[in-house]
Structure 1
Amino acid sequence: MDRFQELSAFIAVVETGGFTAAARIMGESQSSISKAVNALEKRLGVALLHRSTRKVTLTDQGQKYYERTRPLLDEINMADSELASSTLDFTGLVRIAAPSTFGRLHVLPLIPELLSCHPGLKVDLVLSDALRDMVEDRIDLAIRLSPSNDPDSVVRRVGSTSLVCAGSRCYFAQYGVPRTPADLIDHNCLIYGAMTEWSFTGPSGRFSVPVSGSLSSNSAETILAGVQAGVGIGMFYRASLVEELKHADVITVLDEFVNESRDVNLVWPKRRFISTRVRIATDFFTQRLPLRL
C-alpha cells in the first residue's frame, strides 16, 4: 500500500477522531481507511491508536509519530499547491518566534513591510524569551540571540549584538557608579534567567563575577522595567536597549570590561523541503534585520 495513503489516513483518523469521519472527509470507504492504518502499524511494528467502540485515541508512540509527521504532510500539500499555482503571490501562514524585547523592537516593525510585499502571507508572531521547541510548537522560523547547537536545525547568521551593563541615572545617583566589575558585589544586580554570573574581559583575559539582587525574572522586559524604575543594574543585549539609550535616563557602565557579543540567527527545522512561504520570510529577514542592528 502507498505510504502517503497510509500516512494521510492515519492523520485523518487522529484529527477527526474516528475512522468513519476520516473516511467521509477523504472520500474513501471506512474499510479502506482502516486497512491503510493497519498497514502503517504493521510496517512500523507499533500500535499507533487505541481503538474502542466509543472513540479512537493515540498511543504514546502514536502521539510522537503524529507530531513528527503532521508538519511533513503540511509541507507536501504546500509543495503541491505552490507548484500547481501559476502566480508569484505565495500564500499561507508563517509562524515566527522571537525573544520578547528584541522581537518587539526589531521584528514587529518589519512585519507590515513583509505583508505588503507578499499579500498572500499570514504571520503568527510568537514573542517569548523561552526557547521554543520548533517541532512541538509548529514554529516555521525562529529568530534567536543565543547559540544554536541543535543538530535538527538549520542556522543562518544575519548579524550580531554586543552585551552591555546598564542602569538608570537615578539608581547611580543614589548608590554610585561601579568602576570595576568587582564593584558589582555592592550593587543590586537584576538577574535575567539563570545569569547569576556576568562575564567581563580584563588585562588577564575573560573572567566572571557572581551577581545577585532583589529582582530576577525569565522575562527581559521585566528586568528592563526594573532598570528603568531605578531598582538596579542589568545585563542586556545592546539591540534590546536601542530606545532606552537614546534618552538620558538609562546609561551603560563598565563598557571597557564588556566586549562580548551574541550572534543574531535565523533558525528553522532541518527538513528536506522548506516551503516557499518560509523561504520568503527567511530571505526577507536576512536582508532587513542587519540594517537594524
Structure 2
Amino acid sequence: MDRFDELTAFIAVVETGGFSAAARRSGVSQSAVSKAVNALEKRLGVQLFNRTTRSVTLTHHGRVYYERTKPLLDEMAQANEELIGSTLDISGQVRIATSSTFGRLHVLPLIPQLLAQYPRLKLDLNLSDGVQDLLADGVDLAIRVSPVQNPDAVVKHVMRTSLVCAGSRRYFEQHGIPQVPADLSGHNCLVYNGATSWSFAGPHGRFSVPVSGNVSSNTVETILSAVHAGIGIGMFYRASLVGPLRHPDILTVLDQFIDESRDISLVWPNRRFISARVRLVTDFFAAALAERL
C-alpha cells in the first residue's frame, strides 16, 4: 500500500473522529481506510488508535505521530496547490454546505457564474437546515446565516441580514396592518420551526410576543410561500425577500420594533491548510453574495 495513502487515511480518521466519517471525507470505502491504517500501524510497529464499538481515540503514540506528521502533510498539500494554482487551471471538487432556503435563493443562482470562471471545478452542494459537522462530513466550505459555534473554525463575515415581519398587501387589506407587536394577537401568524414567540425591541428593552396561526412548518420555504399566497404574516430574514417576495405586494411591518440580525458567513473547517480552489470559491461567494444581497 502507498505510504502517502496510509498517512492520509490516518489523518482523516483523527480529524473526523471515526473510520466511516473518514471514508466519507476521502471518497473511498470504510474498508479501504481501515486497511490503510492497519498497514500503517503494522509498518510502524505501534498502535495508533484505541478502538471500541462506540469511539476511536488516539493512543499516546498516535497523538505524537499526528502532531509530527500533520504539518508535513499540510506543507505537501500546499506545495501541490501552489503549483496547480500557478497554472490558473483550478480543478477538483469543492463540497459546499448551506441551508435549504438560502442555498436555493442565493447560492444556486450564482453557480453558473462560478463554473463559467472555473469550468474544471466540481461542486458538491449539500442543502440542509441542520448544522453539519464540517470535518466529519467532509465539507470544504459552509455558507451560514446563523452563529458559528465552533471556536476553531475559520470564519469570513460577508454581511448581516435583519429579521423582518412581512405579509401580502391582499392580507393586510382584509385584516389591517399591525401598528405595534401586541397587535399580532389578532393576526394569522405563520409559525416556523415551532417558534410561537417572536422577539422585538422597544424603549424599555427587548420583549417577546406570543403568536399563533393556521399554518406552521419546519421549512422557511413553506412560510415564504404562505406569505406570498396571502395566508398570513411571517417572520424571516430580509435575505429571503427575493423573487416573488420582493414584489411590491409584499410589505414589511413593525420594522421599528425589530433590531435582530444575523451574520452571513463563509466558514472553513479547522484545518491549517486550505486548498487554492477552496480559497477561490470562498472569494467568489464573498464578493458575489455581498453584491447580490
TM bucket normalised to smaller: 0.7 to 0.9
Is contact 1:6–1:37 with CA below 8 Å preserved after alignment? no
Q: How far apart are 1:107 and its partner, in Å?
A: 1.7
Which one-letter code corresponds to 2:217 in the other structure? S
Of residues 44, 51, 73 in structure 1, which corresponds to 2:48?
44
Q: How far apart are 1:152 and its partner, in Å?
A: 3.1
Alpha-carbon distance between aligned partners in 2 of 1:140 and 1:9, rounded to the nearest angstrom: 17
- Counterparts in 2 of 1:254 and 1:77: CA distance versus 1, 3 Å: same
Q: How far apart are 1:157 and its partner, in Å?
A: 0.7
Is contact 2:51–2:57 with CA below 8 Å preserved after alignment? no
Q: How far apart are 1:146 and its partner, in Å?
A: 0.9
Alpha-carbon distance between aligned partners in 1 of 2:58 and 2:226, rounded to the nearest angstrom: 41
Alignment of structure 1 residues 1-293 onto 2, 5 Å: 6-8=6-8, 15=28, 35-38=39-42, 42-44=46-48, 46-47=50-51, 59-62=53-56, 79=78, 81-85=80-84, 87-293=87-293
Counterpart in the other structure of 1:54: none
Q: How many residues align?
A: 267
Q: How far apart are 1:143 and its partner, in Å?
A: 1.0
For 1:264, what is the secondary structure of its paired residue? strand
Is contact 2:142–2:266 with CA below 8 Å preserved after alignment? yes
Alpha-carbon distance between aligned partners in 2 of 1:84 and 1:249, rounded to the nearest angstrom: 53
- Counterparts in 2 of 1:34 and 1:271: CA distance versus 1, 3 Å: closer
Is contact 2:189–2:213 with CA below 8 Å preserved after alignment? yes
Alpha-carbon distance between aligned partners in 2 of 1:109 and 1:17, rounded to the nearest angstrom: 35
Alpha-carbon distance between aligned partners in 1 of 2:182 and 2:29, rounded to the nearest angstrom: 62
Is contact 1:129–1:220 with CA below 8 Å preserved after alignment? no
Alpha-carbon distance between aligned partners in 2 of 1:251 and 1:219, rounded to the nearest angstrom: 21
Alpha-carbon distance between aligned partners in 2 of 1:200 and 1:8, rounded to the nearest angstrom: 50
Is contact 1:167–1:228 with CA below 8 Å preserved after alignment? yes
* Superposition TM-score, scaled by structure 1 size: 0.77
- Counterparts in 2 of 1:42 and 1:181: CA distance versus 1, 3 Å: same
Q: How far apart are 1:218 and its partner, in Å?
A: 2.0
Which one-letter code corresponds to 1:247 in the other structure? H
Q: How far apart are 1:207 and its partner, in Å?
A: 1.5
Alpha-carbon distance between aligned partners in 2 of 1:212 and 1:265, rounded to the nearest angstrom: 31
Alpha-carbon distance between aligned partners in 2 of 1:150 and 1:139, rounded to the nearest angstrom: 14
Unaligned runs of 5+ residues in structure 1 are 24-32, 49-58
For 1:130, what is the secondary structure of its paired residue? coil
Larger CA deviation: 144-153 vs 83-92? 83-92
For 1:208, what is the secondary structure of its paired residue? strand
Q: How far apart are 1:242 and its partner, in Å?
A: 2.6
Identity %: 56
Output one character per residue of 1:181-215: Cα deviation in whole Å (capped at 9) or x when no partner: 01112222111124322111222222111222222
Unaligned runs of 5+ residues in structure 2 are 14-18, 60-65
Output one character per residue of 1:223-280: Cα deviation in whole Å (capped at 9) or x when no partner: 1111122222100111111323432332111122123222111111121111111111
Which one-letter code corresponds to 1:101 in the other structure? T
Output one character per residue of 1:86-121: Cα deviation in whole Å (capped at 9) or x when no partner: 622121111112222222222222212211222221
Output one character per residue of 1:12-38: Cα deviation in whole Å (capped at 9) or x when no partner: 99755668x968xxxxxxxxx855334
Q: How far apart are 1:165 and its partner, in Å?
A: 0.1
Which one-letter code corresponds to 2:81 in the other structure? E
Q: Decide which structure has the larger Cα Rg and report it.
A: 1
For 1:43, what is the secondary structure of its paired residue? coil
